[in-house]
Structure 1
Amino acid sequence: MADSAQYLDIVFDVPIRDNPVFTYRMDPKGEAALGKRVMAPFGRREMTGYIIGQRDEAPAALSAGSIKAVRRVVDGEPVFDSGDVELAKWMAGYYLCGLGEALAAMIPSGRRVGGYSSFDDDEDIAQAALSLSEEQEKALAAITAPAEKPPPFYLYGITGSGKTEVFLRAAESAIREGKSVIYLVPEISLTHQTAEAIGKRFGPVAATIHSGMSPSKRLTEWVRIRAGEVHIVVGPRSAVFAPVKNLGLIIIDEEHDGSYKSGNTPRYHARQVAMRRVATSGARLVMGSATPSAEAWKLMKDGGIKRLDLTRRLSGGSPPEIIPVSLEHTEGCLTGELKDEIRKTAQLGRQSILFLNRRGFAYFYHCKQCGFELSCKHCSVSLTYHKSKGRAVCHYCGYSVVPPKACPECGSLEAGFAGFGTEMIEEEVARTFPELRLRRADADTTGRKGSLAETLDIFKAGGMDILLGTQMVAKGLNFPGVRLVGVVLADTGLHMPDFRAAERTFSLIVQVAGRAGRYFPDGKVIVQTLRPHDPAITRACALDVEGFFTAELAQREMLGFPPYTRLIRFTLRSKEAERADGAIARLASIATPLIPRDADVLGPAECPIGIMSGNHRRQLILRGKTMGTLHTAARAILDRYDKGRDAKAYLEVDVDPVSLL
């Protein structure tokens, strides 16, 4: 940039899609430059701005005297570059958000750079050279083979088949060539084993970035990565933006996981951003899972992704025996079959994992006399009873209340909580097996920093007999001593009004089953269910991934849902139901004439969770064969809607939504 630049082009973290760039005067010291953040007046407040360009002259539409100066420069060195700006422009265009919103999502918000925190360089703990199986060798050779334009690769293999070792060898190969690697995991707290393995193998050239770190610590690692001191970055979805030098490889472990999709604007998916980065840098992309997403499965079938199979467990274990057991006529939460297996496992000196994707004690307050249900006063969902707190709590907004002794509607004493959560299971297991060491791992027990990692380490070291938890215990964890996995209630997610409900249920059962018998051939999984004949459950118990996706994709194609169509979801929320209704009706009236021939509109309708945190929620979904035509229509709709927008009705746009709740 020219030294004589007098003006700065700046974007802010605000939802402005058209003309999002603002011009400011250079700071008096002349420290501002592309890639630095500044504090600048914006309307009546001062905000963090991102410098995306410099110019010698003011834009023709502005008089030089009307241009404000930035107040101060935040960064000593640039924290992003023109490549990051290009990626942010792509995100703003694809996810229909502001350029500043996209850039702000990419860059850690820390104000200062703190002390370094890289992994220790410990020669003694470096991984011993394991010999790879024939399948692993073949997969690694395909991933690392010289190619002008390598396709995306998918390591599809049962749990325990050695996917991680192939990922690590591919990373080593890229680093030997002087390139850098981004290794994505679903949630850092759940996969600290991966971070540990990478730290041990790569030492100080490895770094971790995740939301549990303080902003200044994240910024410190970010600056190290930008400086080229780091060659492999591990982290959840936001690590996809890591500013590594000479990107050679992006790995997406457990590709199917829903947490790769952001729940806030910009609602990006790490897989799509990774594909974009790979396309513009010439790097390779390798994904992997025992249960691919439906989108990835279809791409493998159609040849868009090259599938590499790993079919056997390497550590001597074999796929566990999985037995579906009906919960009907069972008193309490545990069937006789599950109790017998827990007892047998303990007698063998081995460990059990009990899994239930629902925390709390009981989740459904119902009156048998009048049918009254106790729901959150801010959200249209049932309250969950937490016995340890003595309160009924909403898991969406945190509202809580002391549960009534009698029905608030009719006064009947035949009212109370039904259904069960992890707290109730904990109580029943402790009562049934007082001699066994038990620990619960869910959001209520692992709030303290490092407490989940501590629990998992104790379990791995054999310090407890039974680990009970929510999906924190279902993913990517490798415990040699586990013989038994009990899925306490397999169908918690099946009744969700979402076209991905069956896929999620299937994946979760297969993933959690993969924790059993990793090192021994006698692994057992008991799947308790109220719907033993549901195809998602019977196929998960048979580990029939092929059969599940054949049937699921046929159904999706027939109903016109992804991956055979693309979706853009508009959600309107307001504190007042009438405003939400009025705004969604106006949006629908704008949308209807703009929809292209090969697309249609679903709605307007109330969202499945109609009220959340006191906001009334309404939705309109555009559905079409190609994203190009949907994008064009969506932009036209948003341009017209923005002109008379109701300030008290907030619009969210979600391109390729993974959940429709």
Structure 2
Amino acid sequence: MKYVNVAIDNNNDNTDILYTYACEFDEIKIGNKVYVPFGKGNRTKAAYVFEVLDKISININKIKYIDHIDEEISLNKEIINTCKWIRQQYICRYIDSIKCFTPAGSLSKRGKIRTPYKDFEGEYKSIKDLTMEQSNALDRINPFIEKQEYKTFLIHGVTSSGKTEIYMRAIDKCIKMGRTAIMLVPEISLTTQTIERFIGRFGSENMAVLHSKLSLGERYDEWMRVKKGKVKILIGARSGVFAPFENIGVIILDEEHETTYKSDKTPKYDTVEVAIKRAQQNNGIVLLGSATPSLISSYKAEKGLYEKITLKKRYNEANLPEVQIIDMREELKNGNKTIFSVALYNEICNCLDNEKQVILFLNRRGYSSFISCRSCGYVLKCKECGISLTYHKSNNKAICHFCGYTEDIPEQCPECHGKYIKHFGVGTEKVEEVSKKLFPQSIVERLDLDTTKRKGSIDKIINNFKKGKTHILIGTQLVAKGLDFANVGLVGIISADITLNISDFRAAERTFQLITQAAGRAGRGNESGRVIIQSYSPNHYAILAAAKHDYGEFYKTEKMIRSMLLYPPYSDLIQIIISSEEEEEVQLRSEKVVQDFINKAGNKSKKYIFGPHPAPMNKINNHYRYQLLIKCLPENRLIYTQIITEIKLGISTDRNAKYLISIDINPYSFL
């Protein structure tokens, strides 16, 4: 007779504990999915084994028995340990963490195996000699693969420096040692291009794919291929980090700086952190690659937590693209009120005449509008924390999405007293419309969330551009992430200010990254390309550093600002959202949460608490929302998360409560 402690598949905080059952199956092990009688009515519920015991101290006369073990679905000990860590790290339930690792969908009733990308032929590229920088990188990486010793590497390589070849060779070495590999990309739009290259190198029979655009059936079958050991490589977006592999040799995150690696749904995990946790338990390595590493990753490399590898040259020795900054204030003064500067218009004409392709980038996000003076470039900013204010049309107010500061919209610019101060807003759809009018002989396509809703639409748009059928591609950040097109002669950044003035302390970092990444799409063939940046703030340090391809200068400036204001990496930001159908109730409870936190953490914590204030998106699904933010210094992380866990548990287990609580550690959105 054995005994097991299991987590019940039940979405209720009241049952978020481990329950003990007796087990008559000698083969039971940690990670098994089992079915058990649960509750007063002994309803059969699914559960997952977290511990196997030979004896227990409770009264065995009242103990219940496991009904049976699921023969198809099971996890391993490493995954269960990671689930425990996720529950504590991101303040979620056992079952929330478990469901990250279990498959969506179910077995086909017809017994048919659903294989996505089965018709892909692959993109074979002959393996050329490595550059000196690539060879040096692998010389530092390979010893850890050979010794099966954990290590995280930050590969800081300029765009088109050959990072993908380093990834492939690391994977190849792991596979030859009988180990497995996970390759992650930040956007589904990049998955197809990565799959084609990997099929060309490793063959489709050795790979599985996991991402949210697959059908539930496809996801289930791909999960099972991984679980049964039929493949050695998994390619996917964020959720691919949870692939049920054994003996993981390498986990790779390409474009590691991207915000899409942070989940905005429970559990609100950071993919980089989960990858490192899994690699540590498997004695594997993590490769974080980017031309614009996140400030946090660079800081960790500086402190010795990661080993940094730098690639300064493009693999074909081509020069980085020439970058020109256009001051849109001057364009306005000269009577040009269109979205294209004279320089950008002329360069587009020049490119099209020479049969080169053009990418026009505009990261028009839904709630990131700002209020700016088109005469002098002045932007309304919060008097409390220096973050740009967001225009709220419903009440005609300028509001800080970080601390809640509010002010009226001025009738004239406070800086130059000009009359051109207003809500700034141009989207990709308008850019597409104008481009078609100005360049009627050219084929223009748009790549954003509105044009990629149908399955396969992303691949179709990208393939059209890749084959030269599309002359001008207009898009949001989807076009700035890792896509490799040899014939792009020009990248035009319509407005760098859209990301520069989002209500987020990372605004400068996001601007630098997106400009650099978008610029990196130009000149990837044998000829160097050109980049034109349009801005009303042309002297901002992020724009100037991006134009010079100078990551070091940007990092130095941004790190100094973060240090002064105690933003990450010098603290963790903990966001707490309280919501309720009753506005007065949510306000009162938010204030009580703050007071409960102070009572437990001490009066010194007051200066690190911002709010509570109405959340920027104050009402969703008939629920009013209040937000508070806590700056958590490294030495306080454990105690603060313990306190917040206690507060959350008290709220979520109160059957009379008329409100809900949501917690996000280091969120990438403050809406």
Contact kept? 1:359, 1:442, Cα under 8 Å? no
Contact kept? 1:189, 1:453, Cα under 8 Å? yes
Q: Of 475, 481, 487, which residue of structure 1 is paired with 2:481?
A: 475
Write out per-residue CA displacement over residues 598-625 of structure 1, whole angstroms, 9 at most, x where no aligned residue.
Answer: 7532322333433344432222233223
Question: Which TM-score applies when normalising by structure 2?
Answer: 0.83
Contact kept? 1:159, 1:514, Cα under 8 Å? yes
Contact kept? 2:191, 2:237, Cα under 8 Å? no
CA 1:206–1:428 in structure 2 vs 1: closer, same or farther (change >3 Å)?
same
Q: Of 508, 516, 519, which residue of structure 1 is paired with 2:514?
A: 508
How far is 1:566 from its partner?
Answer: 1.8
Aligned to 1:373: none
Q: Which moved more, 1:615-624 or 1:205-214?
A: 615-624
Gaps of 5+ in 2: 373-389, 395-421
Determine whether 1:355 maps to 2:369. Answer: no
CA distance in 2, matches of 1:18, 1:124: 48
CA distance in 1, matches of 2:310, 2:263: 29
Q: Of 633, 639, 642, which residue of structure 2 is paired with 1:624?
A: 633
CA distance in 2, matches of 1:565, 1:543: 28
Aligned to 1:432: 438
Contact kept? 2:2, 2:22, Cα under 8 Å? no
CA distance in 1, matches of 2:278, 2:210: 18
How far is 1:143 from its partner?
Answer: 0.7
* Structure 1 residue identity aligned to 2:629: I
Q: Of 111, 115, 118, which residue of structure 2 is paired with 1:117?
A: 115
CA distance in 2, matches of 1:260, 1:149: 25
Aligned to 2:194: 194
Aligned to 1:404: none
Contact kept? 1:11, 1:52, Cα under 8 Å? no
Determine whether 1:133 maps to 2:131. Answer: yes
Aligned to 2:615: 607
Q: Which moved more, 1:604-613 or 1:112-121?
A: 112-121
Q: CA RMSD in A?
A: 3.4
Contact kept? 2:500, 2:507, Cα under 8 Å? yes
Describe the SS at the equivalent of 2:497. Answer: coil
Question: Which TM-score applies when normalising by structure 1?
Answer: 0.84
CA distance in 2, matches of 1:6, 1:150: 34
Contact kept? 2:486, 2:525, Cα under 8 Å? yes
Q: Which moved more, 1:4-13 or 1:235-244?
A: 4-13
Q: Which moved more, 1:138-147 or 1:277-286?
A: 138-147
Count of paired positions: 609
Determine whether 1:246 maps to 2:256. Answer: no
CA distance in 2, matches of 1:118, 1:612: 36
Aligned to 2:234: 233
Contact kept? 2:101, 2:244, Cα under 8 Å? no
How far is 1:58 from its partner?
Answer: 9.4
CA 1:497–1:33 in structure 2 vs 1: closer, same or farther (change >3 Å)?
closer
CA distance in 2, matches of 1:419, 1:658: 22
* Structure 1 residue identity aligned to 2:326: V
* Structure 2 residue identity aligned to 1:279: Q
Describe the SS at the equivalent of 1:136. Answer: helix
Write out per-residue CA displacement over residues 466-512 of structure 1, whole angstroms, 9 at most, x where no aligned residue.
Answer: 01111111101000010101111111122222211111111111111
Write out per-residue CA displacement over residues 538-578 of structure 1, whole angstroms, 9 at most, x where no aligned residue.
Answer: 22222221111111111101001110112222111223321
Pairwise mapping of residues 311-350 of structure 1 onto structure 2 (< 5 A)? Answer: 311-328=312-329, 329=332, 330-350=336-356
CA distance in 1, matches of 2:311, 2:82: 34
Aligned to 1:655: 665
Q: Of 103, 106, 112, which residue of structure 2 is paired with 1:108?
A: 103
Write out per-residue CA displacement over residues 72-99 of structure 1, whole angstroms, 9 at most, x where no aligned residue.
Answer: 87x4323323332221111111111111
CA 1:119–1:581 in structure 2 vs 1: closer, same or farther (change >3 Å)?
same
* Structure 2 residue identity aligned to 1:560: L
Write out per-residue CA displacement over residues 26-75 of structure 1, whole angstroms, 9 at most, x where no aligned residue.
Answer: 899x999952265976789979633215779998379748x5986x87x4
CA 1:64–1:215 in structure 2 vs 1: closer, same or farther (change >3 Å)?
farther
Contact kept? 2:107, 2:220, Cα under 8 Å? yes
Write out per-residue CA displacement over residues 570-594 of structure 1, whole angstroms, 9 at most, x where no aligned residue.
Answer: 1112233212211211111110022
Describe the SS at the equivalent of 2:151. Answer: coil
CA distance in 1, matches of 2:616, 2:195: 37
| Identity rate, percent | 33
CA distance in 2, matches of 1:243, 1:462: 39
Q: Which moved more, 1:106-115 or 1:519-528?
A: 106-115
Describe the SS at the equivalent of 1:36. Answer: strand
How far is 1:382 from its partner?
Answer: 5.3
CA distance in 2, matches of 1:41, 1:314: 60
CA distance in 1, matches of 2:467, 2:170: 29
Aligned to 1:157: 157
Write out per-residue CA displacement over residues 502-539 of structure 1, whole angstroms, 9 at most, x where no aligned residue.
Answer: 11111111111110111144311111122222222222
Aligned to 1:374: none
CA distance in 2, matches of 1:438, 1:42: 60
Determine whether 1:447 maps to 2:450. Answer: no
How far is 1:119 from its partner?
Answer: 6.3
